[in-house]
Structure 1
Amino acid sequence: MTMKETQPVLEVRNLCTTFKRGGVLLPAVRDVSFDVRQGEVLGLVGESGSGKSVTLRSILGLTRRHGEVTGEVRWQGRDISRLSDRQLRQVRGGEVAMIFQEPMTSLNPLLTVGLQLIETLKAHTDLSRAARRDRAIEMLDHVGIPAAASRLQDYPHQFSGGMRQRVMIAIALAAEPKLLLADEPTTALDVTIQAQILDLILRLSQEMNMGVILVTHDLGVVAQTCENVAVMYAGRIVEQGAVRQVLRAPRHPYTAGLMRSVPQDIAPRTPLYSVPGTPPSLEMLPRGCAYAPRCEVRTEACLSKRPPLETISTGRRAACFNPVPAIQGEVA
């Protein structure tokens, strides 16, 4: 059975997350919808503040204490957005796991990495005490930490940045989840370690037939690791489709601008392109298309109406009244 024939394990429909500050409503995520299938790697890309991380946290109900979440998050057929916090704790870590951006702030500095690994196994498996220790060693070895058995008693500060991220991955995957939410897992790591971490996540995804949502702002990472991509701007998905389609022939002006920002075959001393302007504040979102103030091809309609996310070709969706023309021979 091919991926296209399988049913989605995660279905997100019209997800909205709104925070309130000083009586002002801040819509951080607006009408976000996408699917993830078993073994699929979906990329969420966009500038900082576009709503990528809030989307992941909203899926697991981690934003409930600070904001209002509406819409549906159907995990293996059941809407987990309606579950209580106690019920959600059975899903988090066991069925759906998450890797956060900065491992040094996500790991407890007062507990050994072995204890933090074993806590996850105790909460989500029926393994005995001895089996949990063996499994912890196995996971550390699985993610490439040398002398795994001797590192169980070490604390997070005794590991390098790359090794701490590997520990985070080991903790996330210890209970063999079916979906991994990876929130910029290579942030603050050097290029060599970034490649190792991404290769590790991809390899484990294939070995465990695990779906992955990878949040990143690096289009190079998306091109190398993801099969499908959703481009976010000001809390909305503005373009969505297969990676090779979206990156080779972007249809939304924002996606096209991001692609132009990646240096490719340019002469020395040529000024690098950057998307003009800055993302809008959540307190002052434009009336129409949020990208209109920065867009070079905006029309009057863009300033007054919000474009819906619509299908523009097979497997492609874009939210734009004036999309970039399709190129001849566009990849289907």
Structure 2
Amino acid sequence: MLDVRNLSTSFGHDTEKLLAIDDVSFTVAPGEILGLVGESGSGKSITLRSILGLTKRYGQVEGKVLWKNQNMNIMKNKELRRIRGSEIAMIFQEPMSSLNPLLTVGLQIDENLKAHTKLSRSARKKRSIELLDLVGIPSAADRLDDYPHQFSGGMRQRVMIAIALASEPELLLADEPTTALDVTIQQQILDLILDLSKNMNMSVIMVTHDLGVAAQTCDRIAVMYGGKLVEVGPVREILRNPQHPYSIGLLRSVPEDVAPRSELYSLPGIPPSLADRPKGCCFAPRCPAAMTKCVTDRPELQQAGNSCSVACFNPQTITSGNIA
């Protein structure tokens, strides 16, 4: 359904160009949930915005974004507006800043329906109530005239999902939809997205830094670091047998079966800045298994086994002795 080929996004002028996304390629099948996983600053959110063409105004996007065999990257804004919100929808981070505080939630849902459907005014109001009810907001008809600040964090996130689902999209881009929500609300939102994906046969790209979220929701995982994909494969295979040292580090950072008062594991160092990318592998400065080649050359995604791909000159396993 979606085929992203050699997607690169940069900002600034040619003399000071900052590369945020570097030659990223992946596919999404109908009804599939793909998890885009990595630390903050890895390029996950920019990837979603680049797919929709939202970065073109202030950046340069290269490569192909094939949606139903049509390259969205060369489409004009008028053509993109026909797809955005109707065929491909997006849930942005932080619903309080994504929702307009001056407009009622009913009006914000109605805007989507008015732009992408031919429903009458009364039919749009009925559909708005149905959408709020679908995402689990009690007394939906009475909440249409409420403003975002009158909803809790979890309810605002449900409103964002309702807006995204207004035109029954075939692909949902979910940019960390459970950020800043408590654990019980997180689970409700994840269950809701899973149910909607199943019932509507809707594909989803789920951006998250939480491997637990990815394990619960995703069919495949694409691990991202420094604007590049470093490992891609089925969720079970990636979580049980990761091969890239960064994937292993992320998995080890999950606090599980840790003795009381013991130190939690964390990846050493920080992600590279856009202005100071390493010449070779971006993860080499933080990698305990780095070799001389890793510092000078940049690895590309290569098939590793039957179902996974990894971009590493020195793939490891969780039991490898040099993974500290």
TM-score interval, smaller chain = over 0.9
The match for 2:322 is none
Are the aligned partners of 2:31 and 2:201 in contact in 1 as well (CA < 8 Å)? yes
Runs of 4+ in 1 over 2 A off after TM superposition: none
Distance in 1 (alpha carbons) for counterparts of 2:318 and 2:4: 28
- Structure 2 residue runs without a partner (length 5+): 320-324
Question: The residue matched to 2:156 in structure 1 has which SS?
Answer: helix
Distance in 1 (alpha carbons) for counterparts of 2:75 and 2:18: 24
Structure-to-structure mapping, 1:80-95, within 5 angstroms: 80-95=72-87
Distance in 2 (alpha carbons) for counterparts of 1:229 and 1:290: 20
The match for 2:52 is 60
**Displacement of 1:38:** 1.2
Question: The residue matched to 1:180 in structure 2 has which SS?
Answer: strand
| 2:236 pairs with 1:277 | no
The match for 2:202 is 210
Superposition RMSD in Å: 1.2
Pair 1:219–1:325, CA change in 2 (3 A): closer
- Structure 1 residue runs without a partner (length 5+): 1-8, 328-332
Are the aligned partners of 2:248 and 2:318 in contact in 1 as well (CA < 8 Å)? no
Q: Which amino acid aligns with 1:52?
A: K
Question: The residue matched to 1:97 in structure 2 has which SS?
Answer: strand
Structure-to-structure mapping, 1:153-172, within 5 angstroms: 153-172=145-164
Q: Which amino acid aligns with 2:71?
A: D
From 235, 240, 245, give the equivalent of 1:248: 240
**Displacement of 1:326:** 8.7
Question: The residue matched to 2:17 in structure 1 has which SS?
Answer: strand
From 298, 306, 321, give the equivalent of 1:314: 306
Q: Which amino acid aligns with 1:232?
A: M
The match for 2:253 is 261
Question: The residue matched to 2:12 in structure 1 has which SS?
Answer: strand
| 2:122 pairs with 1:130 | yes
Distance in 1 (alpha carbons) for counterparts of 2:208 and 2:258: 24
Distance in 2 (alpha carbons) for counterparts of 1:135 and 1:173: 11
Normalised to the residue count of structure 1, the TM-score between the two structures is: 0.94
| 2:70 pairs with 1:78 | yes
Distance in 1 (alpha carbons) for counterparts of 2:101 and 2:148: 6
Distance in 2 (alpha carbons) for counterparts of 1:193 and 1:326: 32
From 223, 231, 238, give the equivalent of 1:239: 231
The match for 1:32 is 24
Aligned length: 319
**Displacement of 1:23:** 4.6
Question: The residue matched to 1:117 in structure 2 has which SS?
Answer: helix
The match for 2:180 is 188
Distance in 2 (alpha carbons) for counterparts of 1:258 and 1:141: 37
Distance in 1 (alpha carbons) for counterparts of 2:32 and 2:130: 25
Distance in 1 (alpha carbons) for counterparts of 2:240 and 2:274: 31
Pair 1:313–1:129, CA change in 2 (3 A): same
The match for 2:316 is 324
Structure-to-structure mapping, 1:221-240, within 5 angstroms: 221-240=213-232
Q: Report the more deviating stretch, 16-25 or 68-77.
A: 16-25
